[in-house]
Amino acid sequence: MRIRIKELLKNPDLGKEFEISGWVRTKRGNKNIAFIALNDGSTIHNIQVVLNMADFEEEIIRKVTTGSCIKVEGVLAASPGKEQPVELHGSRLHVYGTADPDHYPLQKKGHSLEFLREIAHLRPRTNTFGAVLRIRHAMSFAIHKYFNDRGFYYLHTPIITASDCEGAGEMFRVTTLDLKNPPLLEDGSVDFGEDFFGRETSLTVSGQLEGELAALALSNIYTFGPTFRAENSNTPRHLAEFWMIEPEMAFYDIHDNMDLAEDFLGYLIRYAMEHCSDDLKFLNNMYDRDLMGRLEFTLNNKYERITYSRAVEVLIQSGEKFEYPVSWGVDLQTEHERYLVERHYRKPVMVTDYPKDIKAFYMKQNDDGKTVRGLDVLFPKIGEIIGGSQREEDYHKLRRRIQELSLPEKDLWWYLETRRFGTAPHSGFGLGFERLLLFVTGLGNIRDVIPFPRFPKNANF
């Protein structure tokens, strides 16, 4: 029976026979002996396989090259080398798949991340992406565990939606109409009544509105699914398809919301440090010597809680020259957010009470008539990692805001009804899963923390 390399290395049972399978990272040796570094993805560590050339057909050993896939049976032994504590002395060898050295692109170590993006079908075989994918898994699992342990229900919200409430013009349209010959209305515009759903539909930018409906019945829910934004942001922090975690809680005000956000992020980062330490150590050494320090920094400091107005004051008084100048009413840019976190407060920062004009219609309106109870959580290196708010639960105020913004009230009738029937104070936030992974892995580009990134002009693989 095959054993995963991680298990084999965990409790090395010297002198016993084992069967392992995996992909060859390197092969070296001479005419008497071959050393193969084998990896099966269960851990960042390879196992060294030692083959006595005399025991095998030369032909079969020649097929073992970087990238090939093999099965080895043999005896586990202490290794005389100082690179590894144990090695497998192979007695039987099977080659599942060869990898022609003239064509296999991952011959040497140290390919650039940009190059690896072009071979996203093979990059899971590198140390870096193995680490990223294992951490991605661990974080997904931790998210479900965190909420399940606290009585939150996992809610599946629709991917295809007919409401465009957040970002007009930032949505991907979903249609089955013939683009060359669409049915037209009398005024020449496309007749979406003829489309599959009988109306205009798009890919969702957030599950929040539907999440609220469930929270106003189940009390505490969360979503964890893909979201889509057609914003043409070619930045290292934006994807066109990304995953978002959106908890929504009845009877939570903005302070409860902040407590949850801080506790949740702390839990996830601690979980990564406990369960992914080998992968984190690798990433720390390869890409970002400050990674571990930065993770600890978020655990050891209570987050600073300030209002938007205070943040603007701090930024103006800093005398710092920002690319985007700051004044009350402008949206904070990443450079501002990072200044607050890294230079001024030197801890993660939670900013609340934003001007209503730069935030979404559903945020709870403050009595000053100017600000709303929005919440952004700002992290070192990343800037905004979470966006959330207390929601407006007052039917009349919400409806007035929808009208002020000329949003399609008739499409939001179901959302408004929750405020007519048994409304309740409630709050929630959205954590961008890949922003979290950027932070936890220390990598610099969000395209490198998702298996197959979608961004402007790229939907390969």
For residues 276 and 295, is the Cβ–Cβ distance under 8 A? no
Using CB under 6 A as the binding rule, whether residue 268 contacts ligand ATP is answered as: no
157 contacts: CB under 8 Å, gap ≥ 6? 204, 207, 210, 211, 223, 225
Please select the residue that binds ligand ATP; options are 118, 384, 394, 411, rule is CB under 6 A. 384
Crossing angle of helices 433-441 and 127-149, in 10° steps, is 120
Using CB under 6 A as the binding rule, whether residue 335 contacts ligand ATP is answered as: no
Using CB under 6 A as the binding rule, whether residue 386 contacts ligand ATP is answered as: yes
Residue 384 CB, nearest approach to ligand ATP (Å): 5
Residue 307 CB, nearest approach to ligand ATP (Å): 17
The span from the CA of 51 to the CA of 64, in Å, is 11
* Residue 179 neighbours by CB distance under 10 Å: 7
Question: How wide is the angle at C-alpha 131 spanned by C-alphas 16 and 18, nearest 5°?
Answer: 10
Residue 47 CB, nearest approach to ligand ATP (Å): 36
Using CB under 6 A as the binding rule, whether residue 338 contacts ligand ATP is answered as: no
Residue 197 CB, nearest approach to ligand ATP (Å): 24
Using CB under 6 A as the binding rule, whether residue 72 contacts ligand ATP is answered as: no
Using CB under 6 A as the binding rule, whether residue 348 contacts ligand ATP is answered as: no
The window from 75-83, 311-319, 342-350, 429-437 that contacts ligand ATP (CB under 6 A) reads 429-437
The span from the CA of 291 to the CA of 300, in Å, is 14
Minimum CB distance to ligand ATP smaller for 220 or for 223: 223
Sign of the CA dihedral 130, 133, 136, 141?
negative
x/- map, 170-209, ligand ATP, by CB under 6 A: ----------------------------------------
In the three-class reduction of DSSP (H, G, I as helix; E, B as strand; rest coil), residue 265 is classed as helix
Tokens of 7: 């298990």
For residues 105 and 126, is the Cβ–Cβ distance under 8 A? no
Q: What are phi and psi of 72, to 5 degrees?
A: -130, 135
Residue 386 CB, nearest approach to ligand ATP (Å): 5
Phi-psi region of 347 (alpha: psi -120 to 50; beta: other; left: phi over 0): beta
Residue 431 CB, nearest approach to ligand ATP (Å): 6
Residue 318 CB, nearest approach to ligand ATP (Å): 21
Query: What one-character-per-residue DSSP string does 89-153 give?
Result: EEEEEEEEE---TTT-S--SS---HHHHHHTTTTGGGSHHHHHHHHHHHHHHHHHHHHHHHTTPE
Please select the residue that binds ligand ATP; options are 130, 207, 211, 432, rule is CB under 6 A. 432
Minimum CB distance to ligand ATP smaller for 99 or for 438: 438
Using CB under 6 A as the binding rule, whether residue 440 contacts ligand ATP is answered as: no
CA nearest 268: which of 141, 380, 384, 376?
141
Please select the residue that binds ligand ATP; options are 430, 440, 448, 449, rule is CB under 6 A. 430
Using CB under 6 A as the binding rule, whether residue 99 contacts ligand ATP is answered as: no
The window from 11-19, 136-144, 395-403, 431-439 that contacts ligand ATP (CB under 6 A) reads 431-439
Using CB under 6 A as the binding rule, whether residue 434 contacts ligand ATP is answered as: yes
Residue count, binding to ligand ATP (CB under 6 A) = 14
Q: Could you report how far apart the first and last alpha carbons of the chain are, in Å?
A: 33
Please report, as residue ranges, which positions from 208 to 267 form the binding site for ligand ATP (by CB under 6 A).
229, 238-239, 242, 244
Residue 198 CB, nearest approach to ligand ATP (Å): 28
Question: Measuring CA to CA, how many Å separate 336 from each of 258, 314, 327?
Answer: 20, 10, 11
CA nearest 92: which of 63, 70, 69?
70
Minimum CB distance to ligand ATP smaller for 239 or for 295: 239
The window from 39-47, 313-321, 384-392, 402-410 that contacts ligand ATP (CB under 6 A) reads 384-392
Question: How wide is the angle at C-alpha 342 spanned by C-alphas 447 and 237, nearest 5°?
Answer: 15
Structure letter (DSSP) for residue 43:
S
Minimum CB distance to ligand ATP smaller for 170 or for 194: 170
Question: How wide is the angle at C-alpha 144 spanned by C-alphas 255 and 247, nearest 5°?
Answer: 30
Residue 185 CB, nearest approach to ligand ATP (Å): 32
In the three-class reduction of DSSP (H, G, I as helix; E, B as strand; rest coil), residue 49 is classed as strand
Please select the residue that binds ligand ATP; options are 314, 385, 398, 440, rule is CB under 6 A. 385
x/- map, 387-406, ligand ATP, by CB under 6 A: x-------------------
Tell me which H or E stretch contains 267: helix 254-275
Using CB under 6 A as the binding rule, whether residue 306 contacts ligand ATP is answered as: no
Residue 343 CB, nearest approach to ligand ATP (Å): 20
Chain positions contacting ligand ATP, by CB under 6 A: 229, 238-239, 242, 244, 384-387, 430, 432, 434-435, 446
